[in-house]
A and B are shown apart, each in its own frame.
Chain A
Amino acid sequence: MPKVYNWQLGREMDYRFEGGAAKRQFAAVFNINRCIACQTCSMACKSTWTFSPGQELMWWNNVETKPYGGYPNHWDVNILELQEKANPGGQVWDPAKKDPKTAPYGTFDGKTIFETADGVNTMATGYIPPEADWKAPNIHEDTSTAIPAGGASLPEHAGWFFYLQRICNHCTYPACLAACPRNAIYKREEDGIVLIDQNRCRGYRKCVEACPYKKSMYRPSTRTSEKCIACYPRVEASDPLTEGLPMETRCMTACVGKIRLQGLVQVDANGEWIEDRKNPLYYLVHVAKIALPLYPQFGTQPNVYYIPPRWVPRPYLRQMFGPGVDDAIAAYTNPTRETLAVLQLFRASQRIVFGYRIEQGPKTGELNVGGQTREIFNDTIIGLDSNGGEIVRVTVDEPTAERPGQLNSL
């Protein structure tokens, strides 16, 4: 198998095809800390793309309660177990083998799903979750690990759960694509969006088997597999609604908790992000490093990044997001002025923000977080489109208005 570079793992790895990935890559940051599990995102996707016969069990976007929930049930535990069986005791990171650009989280010394496969019978280690596993998408909702008598306090809650928002990761090295014996899956050069050609697909479900995130799904009414299409008519601005300007996807723009920010980043032939300091995604992932990939050890180089939940035991989070967790939580807990400003861009506009500019504002507050004093400045961040034109401007202090007393008696 050819070798490709996976910067999330800090090393080369085996993949069925040569690199030569996309020029621009669809990417998103999800702030787990803010999600309220309202499922508006899930419904936005379903009511747009998956409301027809045969799609009943399909949730291209789903939000599951961790650690017990999963759609399909136990998908991540199952993959982790298969990988552990294939490489017992070897699925470990070396956080010390680090490089700010090529290995920001250290080096993964274990095996990816491509490396535990034989390349003849399978291209990636995986399994097909049976139908029953797709039938309870929100199972174990809000189920905590414990209800501690003394309540909960940071840094780690004694009883905990959190919501995990999931869509297809439009991976740089998609397992679904590698597994398709008909080459019916392709990754678009212009935005890295991974699509299944509905004419070529023959329903072999090798993609369903191989995708570690279980985001390729089988549709019995057409005997083909379907998956999240990253709302490409919006992203490529061909949807009349966009008026020619790239627009974020349905699940992003519908987000009530304002936890999501999606865009397009520039990548090189290795799938590494080209420095673009004022792209909010580049900033969050590569400068502030507060957003991390989901199960990077699977090896697909997923492109949805998560700000990990602050209250969850770290070993669990490290297994899920890699060794970058501690730094990410520290940086999120005590954000810099710039980070605080960039976080305001989440759901400020439906348009894709390609860059930003910050206008400094006055100090408006001071608070104490974990023994540290933090000053708050009411900076203004201006979101820019791909031509540098202004899309939106937001301030760190959310404007508030007090309702006049007499109206309260109405």
Chain B
Amino acid sequence: MLLELVKRRRIAVGVVAVLALAGVLQFTNTNPAVSQTLYLTAYESGKDPGLNPSNGAWKDAVAVRVPLTAQLGSYAAGGGTVQTVSAKALHYNDTLYVRVEWKDATQDDASTRVEDFSDAVALEFPAKTASTVPSVCMGQADAGVNIWHWRADSDAGLKDPVEIYTGASVDGYPSTDTLFYTARAAGNPYANPDLGAVQTLVSQAFGQLTTSTVQDVQGKGAWANDAWAVVFARPYTSEGPDHAGFGAGARTDIAFAVWDGSQDERNGMKSASQFITLSIAGAKVPGGGGFNSTAVILGAAMLIGFTALGIGLGVYGYREGKR
């Protein structure tokens, strides 16, 4: 318990420091999309993490707290009800695993009633073909993005209302062929009951998000103790031309977005992060847990820097006052 607390404090210190760094980078006009700000490292797992978010493999992986903000830029703006996600990453057998956890007091995993919206989380990566770090807002022409979108309702499975309202009486349906589920017949992936929990999407501009022809991301979510935990998994290599690419020792970027269904959040109404750096380390997970050393070292350097600056200014002010 005490150890946990100490660990948490270390992480918190690290986060404060890197946030300060992010501020300075912004202030000094350093492109924040080139994400030197926060680091998420995927070490090799000692055992298969699988898709269950409570698999023991995650115990020793270091959590990075990523701040989220409302999407305020363009229609449909809104969201911002979730302030942070806690992200972990591992790799095992040339597959990347990402585990995201966030606080949400309501488990919204149905979209049966017109007023029901599903909880959801998405990861965003630059496409492997991107020539630069893409805009986090759905990419750009020379740098597309690849999005992995998990929805609680998809994870729970799509049902007809009569299967949910078991007391309902219906005279009968003349036909239940796919043709009469119009969106399904039109090839809409979200209308397909065989849809997995995660959809893989690609985009090269705001408003151009489309479902990828290759669906190779798996995922599973679990809600407990007022929080969701969701695991995503994808082999390093992907057939999808605009998909993210991973590999041992590789570095790329990752961004997060969360939707709270009970707050009617969907589409652009969401809580989203900037890109942070994702590196895939060759090493095994440092035993017995740990903390994000890079972040803390950077943070410590920043703190020392600020302190020095503060002392310097103080001295300067004192001298000025003496004149």
Contact = CB atoms under 8 A, between A and B. Distances in A.
A74 to B, nearest CB: 15
Given A130-B114, A131-B113, 17 more contacts: A52-B173, A54-B160, A56-B162, A120-B77, A121-B75, A121-B76, A122-B76, A128-B114, A128-B115, A129-B114, A182-B267, A217-B114, A218-B114, A222-B182, A222-B188, A222-B191, A223-B190
Contacts of A221: 158-161, 181, 191
Given A53-B173, A198-B188, A223-B158, A181 B268 contact: yes
B188 A224 contact: yes
Given A51-B174, A54-B181, A222-B191, A206 B76 contact: yes
Nearest to A221: B160
A54 B161 contact: yes
A201 B77 contact: no
Interface in A200-216: 200-206, 208
Classify the secondary structure of A's interface with B.
Answer: loop
Contacts of B47: none
B175 interface: yes
Interface size class of A (residues with CB under 8 A): 35 or more
Nearest to B184: A222
Contacts of B117: 205
Contacts of B184: 222
A120 B75 contact: yes
A204 B266 contact: yes
B91 to A, nearest CB: 31
B318 interface: no
Classify the secondary structure of B's interface with A.
Answer: loop
A123 B176 CA distance: 36
Contacts of A218: 114
Contact of B115 (A51, A131, A202): A131
B183 A224 contact: yes
Interface centre among A182, A197, A201, A221 (most CB of B within 10 A): A221
B78 interface: yes
A119 B75 contact: yes
A53 B178 CA distance: 11
A134 interface: yes
Interface string B154-165: 000011111000
A62 to B, nearest CB: 16
Nearest to B117: A205
Closest 9 CB pairs of A and B: A222-B191, A222-B183, A52-B180, A131-B113, A218-B114, A198-B183, A198-B186, A53-B160, A224-B183
Interface string A165-197: 000000000000000011100000000000001
Interface string A361-392: 00000000000000000000000000000000
B170 interface: yes
A117 to B, nearest CB: 10
A220 interface: yes
A183 B267 CA distance: 12
29 contacts: A51-B180, A52-B176, A52-B181, A53-B160, A53-B181, A56-B161, A56-B168, A119-B75, A120-B75, A121-B76, A121-B77, A121-B78, A128-B115, A131-B113, A181-B76, A181-B268, A198-B182, A198-B186, A198-B188, A199-B188, A204-B76, A204-B266, A205-B266, A218-B114, A219-B183, A220-B113, A222-B184, A223-B183, A223-B191
